[in-house]
Amino acid sequence: MIEFQAVTKRFDDGTTAVDNLDMVVEAGTITVFVGPSGCGKTTSLRMVNRMIEPTSGTVLVDGEDIRKSNPALLRRRIGYVIQQAGLFPHRTVLDNVATVPLLSGWTRRKARARAAELLETVGLDAAMGKRYPSQLSGGQQQRVGVARALAADPPVLLMDEPFSAVDPVVREGLQDELLRLQADLDKTIVFVTHDIDEAVRIGEKVAVFRKGGVLAQYAAPAELLSNPADDFVSSFVGKDRGYRGLSFLQADGIQLGGVSTMGLHGEHLSGERPSTVGGPDWTLVLDDDGRPRGWLPPGVVIQGEPAEEDLRPGGSLYTEGTALRGALDAALSSPSGLGVVVDDAGRYTGVVTAQQVIDLIEERRKDAA
Amino acid sequence: MILQELFGWFGDPAHWQGPDGVPNRMLEHLGYTLLSVFGAAAIAIPLGLYVGHSGRGGVVLVGLSNAMRALPTLGLVTFLFLIAGGSEAGTIVGLIVLAVPPILAGTYSGVQDTDRGVVDAARGMGMTGWQRLWQVEVPNALPLLMGGLRNAALQVVATASVAAYVGLGGLGRLLLDGLRVIDYSKVLAGALFIALLAVLLDLVLAGLQRIIVPRGLRVAAAAVAGRPKARSSGRTES
Ligand SMILES: Nc1ncnc2c1ncn2[C@@H]1O[C@H](COP(=O)(O)OP(=O)(O)OP(=O)(O)O)[C@@H](O)[C@H]1O
Ligand SMILES: [Mg+2]
């Protein structure tokens, strides 16, 4: 747990970077600091590991005033990941990761063994340990940065825009990886970003800062999107926030429809549910394991096996039990207008329409009123 | 022909023996050079590391080393020779003054040019000031530091000839004595040997640089230059 108690930071030139910050970052959660450039996110973060000393106020980590700890020793107990990773160019990837264990007095052997283990944890081939940072892609460097921060198994992890220097696709992969890691590790993570999408995607709690280092709102992402505290927060979370909010609505109670299906060898499979949805007669082709392969448009007559060129690629798939946003996206992106629903193993279980999603939202709204 | 005369000069065994022989003059010259470069390094490297590491006194440092560069070496050596009472010490001090600025500049800018993110990460991971200096800043400063050292060595080799002006030895003797008796072969031989010494010394320092600069930095420099990556036993396919 990290506590900010009336923390203010004023730099020598008179800039107030953080203004009277009072907040509690709960243990075992990912808490995101978000806000426009220059609003004091980095300054707040760096006051936790004493890279910056507050002008006034107190920061507590696990109940202890950090001013009581020696800064170097304190920092070895707090993982730190920065933008561009900041890897040591003169050391191999393995030795980069082994840095903090070595500083803490581990033997070289033990530290390297631990480092190799961590490379795998963050999804890198252990053979990459022999390379130098300049021989890695940006995304790989960020993974190494995360591995290095985790090496001494610190309970707290500070991450300052760790993924902002990589392209959006890689970034999304890294975010997923972080969420997966956190499910196992259960660290107290403070994550700084200026990207609201990233904030609501990975944050369990989100702190929105405004210019002058003032905390504007501190809430769970769903709350932030549905109930912004003021005009600043509402404009900062952006114009897509209604749609984004669907990420936090569960889709339970949605009635799945059926559609006629065909196997890869041309055999007609009967849908498990009667076709409850109207519309043109598209046929969904499934592989031998029951996973969707693509759509056959209405009116296409298949003799024997459907050929690859007859198939229209499907849209995104919606996995049962996940948030409503995925269901809507599946319906909107499907060539037939029918969103394909699959189970955890990726097997076809039914279809859903955009209208159904909208109806469900309307229903919820009525219930809430 | 000057070349024939030069070969004649080389062929004369008298020129290779005794206190005025080439081997002895070369050793004297090398001695002045090494003494001055080591002396300068002992002053400039710690100072450069301190200023680069702490960030304090950078402006003073740059001003000071520019002022030192502006001093006329010959005048300085003569002056120091006179106040040092005609000993070698004056000459050596003069050469040290010449060698300090390039080493200082190389060391200081080597530390300064270390990626700020890298230094920040080192601090954030819990390195103490000393650990950061030795484990991060010094290794990263080595290419520029060695560049400064090589520069200083070249300048000192060339300038150590001034020792002869104040009656000391070294290859400068060949130049001066040759000029006095208008023996151009001797002058030319002196110049050639000074050049040879400079090349050899630079080769040795280049070899040293190759050994002590971490391989990761060479790999990174090659990657930036867009050349094929440096040979590496550790490279794997992925
Ligand atoms: N060392 C410093 N000296 C003076 N002012 C500073 C210093 N560091 C930061 N500031 C100022 O403090 C304010 C907050 O800076 P901070 O780096 O915390 O912002 P940020 O929210 O992390 O912004 P960004 O998203 O651009 O990284 C800014 O106005 C900045 O200019
Ligand atoms: Mg910042």
* pLDDT at res. B75: 82
Average pLDDT for residues A168-192, to the nearest whole number? 91
Measuring CA to CA, which residue among A214, A254, A253, A220 is closest to residue A232?
A: A214
Q: pLDDT: is B54 or A238 the higher one?
A: B54
Contacts of A100 in chain B (CB under 8 A): 125-126
Is pLDDT above 50 for B237? Answer: no
Confidence of residue B235 (pLDDT cuts 50, 70, 90): very low
Residue B207 falls inside a structural domain:
yes
Q: Residue B61: which CATH number?
A: 1.10.3720.10
Mind telling me how many Å the CA of B213 is from chain A's nearest CA? 9
Report the pLDDT value the prediction gives residue B197, as an integer from 0 to 100. 94
pLDDT in tens, B35-53: 999 999 999 999 999 999 9
What pLDDT does residue B234 have?
A: 39
By the CB criterion, residues less than 5 angstroms from ion ligand 2 are: A 42
Listed in sequence order, the residues at least 6 apart from A207 whose beta carbon sits closer than 8 Å to its beta carbon are A23, A31, A32, A33, A34, A215, A217, A218
Confidence class for position B231, pLDDT limits 50, 70, 90: very low
| DSSP assignments along A85-128, one per residue | TT--TTS-HHHHHTHHHHHTT--HHHHHHHHHHHHHHTT--GGG
**Chain A residue with Cα closest to B138:** A90
Ligand 1 atom nearest to CA at A192: 22
pLDDT of the residue at B183: 87
Q: What is the DSSP string of A339-355?
A: EEEE-TTS-EEEEE-HH
State the pLDDT at residue B67.
85
Within B85-167, residue ranges assigned H as helices are: 88-112, 116-124, 129-132, 138-159
Interface of A with B in 58-117 (CB under 8 A): 71-76, 80, 82-92, 99-100, 103
Highest mean pLDDT among A323-327, B29-33, B81-85: B29-33
The alpha carbon of A281 and the centre of ligand 1 are apart by a number of angstroms equal to: 59
- Tell me what the mean pLDDT of segment B172-183 comes to: 88
Whether A119 is in the pocket of ligand 1, judged by its Cβ within 6 Å, is: no
pLDDT of residue A270: 60
d(CA A220, CA A208): 11
Summarize pLDDT for A66-88 with one digit per residue, the tens: 999 999 999 999 999 998 889 99
Determine the residue of chain B that is closest to A102 in CA distance.
B127
What is the mean predicted confidence (pLDDT) over A229-244?
Answer: 84
Instruction: With a cut of 70, say whether residue B10 has pLDDT above it.
Output: yes
**CB A50 near ligand 1, within 6 Å:** no
By the CB < 8 Å criterion, does B31 face chain A? no
Does some domain include residue B37?
yes
Q: Would you give the end-to-end CA distance of chain B in angstroms?
A: 66
- Has residue B95 been placed in a domain? yes
Please name the residue of chain A whose CA is at the shortest distance from the CA of residue B119: A86
Among A13, A32, A43, which residue has the most ligand 1 atoms within 8 Å of its CB, making it the best to mutate? Answer: A43
CB atoms within 10 A of CB A240: 11
What structural domains does chain A harbor?
Answer: 2-248 (3.40.50.300), 260-364 (3.10.580.10)
**What is the distance in A from the centroid of ligand 2 to the CA of A192?**
7
pLDDT tens for each residue of A16-55: 999 999 999 999 999 999 999 999 999 999 999 999 999 9
Ranges of beta strands (E only) in A231-300 are 260-263, 268-269, 283-286, 292-296
Cα(B24) to centroid(ligand 1), Å = 63
Residue A251 has pLDDT above 80, yes or no: no
pLDDT tens for residues A112-138? Answer: 999 999 999 998 998 999 999 999 999
Residue B4 lies inside a defined structural domain of this protein: no
How close B222 comes to chain A (CA, Å)?
9
Q: Could you count the other beta carbons within 10 Å of the beta carbon of residue B198?
A: 17
What SS3 class is residue A256? coil
Indicate if the pLDDT at residue A90 is higher than 70: yes
Residue B11 lies in a domain: no
Query: Residue A305: left if φ>0, alpha if ψ -120 to 50, beta else—which one?
Result: beta
Q: Lowest mean pLDDT: which of A26-30, A55-59, B162-166?
A: B162-166
Q: Phi-psi region for residue A266, left (φ > 0), alpha (ψ -120 to 50) or beta?
A: left
Query: Does a structural domain hold residue B16?
Result: no
Atom of ligand 1 nearest to the CA of A41: 21
Task: Tally helices (H) and strands (E) across chain B.
Answer: 11, 0
In contact, B219 and B233? CB cutoff 8 Å: no
Assign residue B59 a region (left: φ > 0; alpha: ψ between -120 and 50; beta: otherwise). alpha
Q: Is the pLDDT of residue B2 over 60?
A: yes
Chain A CB within 8 Å of residue B231 CB: no
- Of B180, B194, B165, B202, the closest CA to residue B29 belongs to B194
> Which helix (H) or strand (E) is A30 found in, with range?
strand A30-34
Nearest to A75 among B118, B126, B224 (CB): B126
- Looking at the structure of chain B, the number of domains it has is 1
Nearest to A125 among B118, B131, B238 (CB): B238
Choice among A151-155, A244-248, B225-229 with the minimum mean pLDDT: B225-229
Helices (H) and strands (E) counted in chain A, each on its own, are: 13, 17
Q: What pLDDT does A288 receive? A: 86
How does strand A16-25 pair with strand A2-10?
A: antiparallel
Nearest chain A CA: its distance from B49 CA (Å): 18
Residue A267 pLDDT > 80, yes or no?
A: no
Q: Which residues constitute the domain of residue B222?
A: 24-237
Collapsing DSSP states into helix, strand and coil, what is residue B23? helix
| The pLDDT of residue A277 | 53
How buried is A364 (Cβ within 10 angstroms: 0-12 exposed, 13-18 middle, 19+ buried)? Answer: middle
**Residue A266 confidence (pLDDT):** 76
B48 within domain boundaries = yes
Q: Do B125 and A87 touch (CB under 8 A)?
A: no
pLDDT of residue A364: 82
Q: Which residue has 């996940």 as its token pair?
A: A322
Residue type, A325: R
Instruction: Convert the pLDDT of each residue in A288-324 to its tens digit.
Output: 888 898 888 887 777 777 877 788 888 888 988 888 8
Residue B19 inside a domain? The answer is no
Ligand nearest to the CA of A209: 1
Give the per-residue pLDDT at A24: 97
